[in-house]
Homo-oligomer: A and B are copies of this chain.
Amino acid sequence: MVVSPNGNKISDATVRRLSKYYRSLKYAYDRGMRTISSQELADMNTLTAAQVRKDLSFFGAFGRRGLGYYVADLQRNIARILGINKTWNVALVGAGNIGRALIDYDQFRQQGFLMKVVLDNDPDKIGKVYHGIEVRDFANVEEEVKKGKIKIAIVAVPAQFAQGVVDRLVECKVRAFLNFAPITVQVPDGVFVRNENMAIELEALSFALTNRREPRRTLGE
């Protein structure tokens, strides 16, 4: 469990909401808002005002009673908390359909995640240039990670290769992974993995559509 500078344990859910607040603040600032209340932030994300205040309170007291939060100030604070007040060099492993789409993904670049290295082991792909980046041989991963100052890797390879790729990258001192393969990869302590499993989300929708009706209230119905 990750811990805030104030010593509070921070849940995943709180971290995800901080990201949302950050986007809402950007949006508000662009619209000319200079202060914002917890209620307004909540409305923008279908949450409660208490939730917003509680989330922020784990990291400090950023608001002004009677007034709300200064938009630019809170945005800066959240950027610092999330560690996105600087850029991160990212490597992509796997230049398939999904991987190639991510090379040039605006939302990554806008938040300071820079795709510096693209690796694959397919001879047909190595040497090809996608969105201005040349695919390099995964065999040279150690050198590429070092040269590229890579801190985060995106793994977009077929399921059967994902664990091996992650293991190799852990050896190369990469400590954070965004995994698109539909398996649970095992990693040692101190290594972070987030899974991006788009089929699971569709299955959750399938479940919701399939089970949406209320259960029977009485046996006779």
> CA–CA, A58 to B197, complex, Å?
24
Q: Given B2, B88, B151, B209, which contacts A151 in the complex, CB threshold below 8 Å?
A: B209
Is A203 part of the contact surface with B, judged by Cβ < 8 Å?
yes
| Chain B residues, Cβ within 8 Å of A101 | 97-98, 100-101
| Chain B residues, Cβ within 8 Å of A23 | 182-183
Interface size class of chain A, counting residues whose CB lies under 8 Å from the partner chain: 35 or more
Q: How many copies does the complex hold?
A: 2
| Chain B residues, Cβ within 8 Å of A199 | 19, 105, 107-108, 110-111, 113
A100-B101, A101-B98 as given contacts; A113 in contact with B202, CB under 8 Å: yes
Is A139 part of the contact surface with B, judged by Cβ < 8 Å?
no
> CA–CA, A108 to B205, complex, Å?
13
Is A129 part of the contact surface with B, judged by Cβ < 8 Å?
no
Are A198 and B108 in contact, CB atoms less than 8 angstroms apart? yes
Q: Given B45, B176, B182, B197, which contacts A205 in the complex, CB threshold below 8 Å?
A: B176
